Amino acid sequence: MTAKQHSLGDRYAEVTVILVTVVALLVGWLYKSGVENASIPFSADGVSAQAPSGWLSVSPGGDELLRTRNINSRGFGATYVVRKIAIAEGVSASEMAGVVALEHANNLTAFRMLDQREVKVNGQTAFEISYVFVEANPDVTQTQIPSVVRGTDYVFLKGGHAIVVSFQSDEKNYNADLDRFHRFLQSLRF
Amino acid sequence: MSEAKALHERKHIWRDEFVLIVSMIVFVGVVYALDNAIQPVFTPNALLLTGAFLSLVPAGIWLVFFYLQDRAEPEPKGFVLAIFALGALLAAAIGIPLLENVFRVSNWIYRDTLAAILGGILVVGFTQEYLKYAAVRYSIYNSDEFDEPTDGVIYATAAGLGYATVLNINFVVANGGVDLGAGVIRIAVVALAQASFAGVTGYFLGRAKFESEPIWWMPLGITLAATFNGLFHWLLGVLTRPTITLTGATSNVWMGLVLAALVAFGTTGVILWLVRQNLKALQAGK
């Protein structure tokens, strides 16, 4: 069969296919951002924030006010933890960060501290510690290779308490998950 | 080429499509039965290689039947294989990295029904269907070998099976091999689905080359294929959703195969009917 002559209309049709695809992907991207950034209000013991919607939240216990995890993440799901710890008078944020790091070293497999520094978050001074560990799943029937997890904790001091906000995510997804965590951190009020 | 060539129907193409669907069901049944009967124990490497081999079977079956049947006016073997390879290459180089690393679909698409449908159509559907379209449109489409409207269906199916093969191999590798029983069902489902939706795009491509279609014709084809793709994967998720009971979790993976086979039969039947209607119209207008 003889193909019809390649016309200007064909060229337009070809461009239209590309445009329709690009528009669909752009709308898809906006929708994805909307779903990923959807949040629900969280408030406990004087600490409030906009927590991610659709994540799995565990009932708080001990000094933990919030523990929420993205169960749809690949590997170790992005996890946010907010703790409120009573501290003795005169304890500095860097000293408290040292205590938190020591706890991690005791509880987490192959824990390594990557960095620690003082930072400003929402105009408040905080001490930031960055670390890495290997996910230790106690389930012996697990056949997957353990994930390397990166974490960042922010330690704030407020009236005889330390507010410790932790972010942990699979090392492969850490950078991509960081923006979402920063939005959560910006929404934190205490 | 003569005009008469366009006005005959290459019946073997439809036979090939139906043979692919039936073969997939037989293939799954045989592997499933063998797995249950022998209960083979694989080393990790053997499991990986077996999964990769099984991923190639759907395309292999289709290509073998296609070559056996395509004697009257054969398509160049190299071209069909090249389009298959191009579909596979586009999936590996663009499709999978875009969906997994840029859109990170697994992070949000299973959130709720709306996310599954909209994400499935706008992101997954459009990405996959555009790449399959591109594999044909920017290669064989401009060649003299693309000389019948039904060639669109042939080459798009080849691209779809290439895409499906890489999706399956990626799944096998990401999971360090797959359980033969459930794995082979997944492989068949992906192959049938990707080939069917590519067939839709192929029908629109074939008509676009040989008839003066309006500017919205090809975008409509891609949109329809992407919509079917998204709706299929949402429905597949609903039908195969695990049921958790006191005795454990069960997932009815067979329903996925039933759905894929029905969709493939339905899509092929509708395209066949459309092509016949088109041929009748051409003959009437001649």
Of A3, A12, A21, the CB nearest to B215: A12
B106 pLDDT band, cuts 50/70/90, is confident
Same domain? For A98 and A145 the reply is yes
What tens digit of pLDDT does each residue of A66-105 get? 999 988 877 888 999 999 999 988 889 999 999 999 999 9
What tens digit of pLDDT does each residue of B207-228 get? 998 888 888 999 999 999 999 9
Alpha carbons B52 and A51: distance in angstroms, whole number:
41
Domain that holds residue A33: 1-37
Same domain? For A58 and A87 the reply is yes
Distance from CA of A41 to the nearest CA of B (A): 18
Name the β-bridge partners of A128: A117, A154
- Find the chain A residues whose C-beta atoms sit closer than 8 A to any C-beta of B: 1-4, 7, 9-10, 12-14, 16-17, 19-21, 24-25, 27-29, 31-32, 35-36, 54, 70, 72-74, 143, 173, 176
Same domain? For A174 and A85 the reply is yes
Alpha carbons B264 and A183: distance in angstroms, whole number:
44
ipTM of this complex? 0.87
Question: A100-109, B40-49, B78-87, B247-256: which range is least confident on average?
Answer: B247-256
Which pLDDT does position B1 carry in this prediction? 40
Same domain? For A3 and A24 the reply is yes
At residue B190, does pLDDT exceed 90?
A: yes
Same domain? For A43 and A126 the reply is yes
Contact call for B122 and A3, based on CB within 8 A: no
- Find the chain B residues whose C-beta atoms sit closer than 8 A to any C-beta of A: 1-3, 5-6, 103-108, 110-112, 115, 118-119, 121-123, 126-127, 130, 133, 137, 146-149, 176, 208-213, 215-219, 222-223, 226
pTM, two decimal places: 0.83
What is chain A's mean pLDDT, rounded? 88
Same domain? For A93 and A175 the reply is yes
Task: Report yes or no: A153 and A164 within 8 Å, Cβ to Cβ.
Answer: yes
Which pLDDT does position A21 carry in this prediction? 97
The residue with tokens 């009020």 is: A189
Distance from CA of A69 to the nearest CA of B (A): 12
What tens digit of pLDDT does each residue of B43-59 get? 888 888 888 999 999 88
Residue in chain B closest to A173 (alpha carbons) equals B101
**Sign of the alpha-carbon torsion through A31, A37, A43, A46:** negative
What tens digit of pLDDT does each residue of B113-140 get? 999 999 999 999 999 999 999 999 999 9
Same domain? For A94 and A149 the reply is yes
At residue B4, does pLDDT exceed 70?
A: no
Residues A26-42, mean pLDDT to the nearest whole number = 92
Range B259-277 burial, b when 16+ CB lie within 10 A, else e: bbbebbbebbeebbeebee
